[in-house]
A = this chain, B = another copy of it.
Amino acid sequence: MYVVGVYDINVKRVAKVKKIFQRYMFWMQNSTFEGSLTQAQLRELKNALKLVTNPKEDHIIFYIIRNEDVVKKEVIGDHHQDPSNIL
């Protein structure tokens, strides 16, 4: 299944959340990741995120789409890389 993950995290925890996402999905822009995941991988990712987030302050949404064919993507703005990956 194709998954889009978007997060709204307290600044104290956002680096940790980003690192966890990076293990499973691809950075698209700040707070937005995409990738193909199995049910087991998504469960693992969610469990890891629950351990480091505060449900009262942090909020993460997963949009789970059967497959990539049913979603079209349109972008405004130039292609850009994850600034933290540029050495």
Point out residues on A near B: beta carbons under 8 Å. Answer: 4, 6-8, 28-32, 42, 46, 49-50, 53, 55-66, 70-78, 80
Contact = CB atoms under 8 A, between A and B. Distances in A.
A31 B8 contact: yes
A70 B65 contact: yes
For this chain, the copies found in one complex come to: 2
A73 B78 contact: no
Contact of A71 (B53, B58, B64, B76): B64
Nearest to A4: B63
Given A29-B61, A30-B8, A32-B6, A55 B70 contact: no
Given A8-B32, A29-B6, A77 B65 contact: no
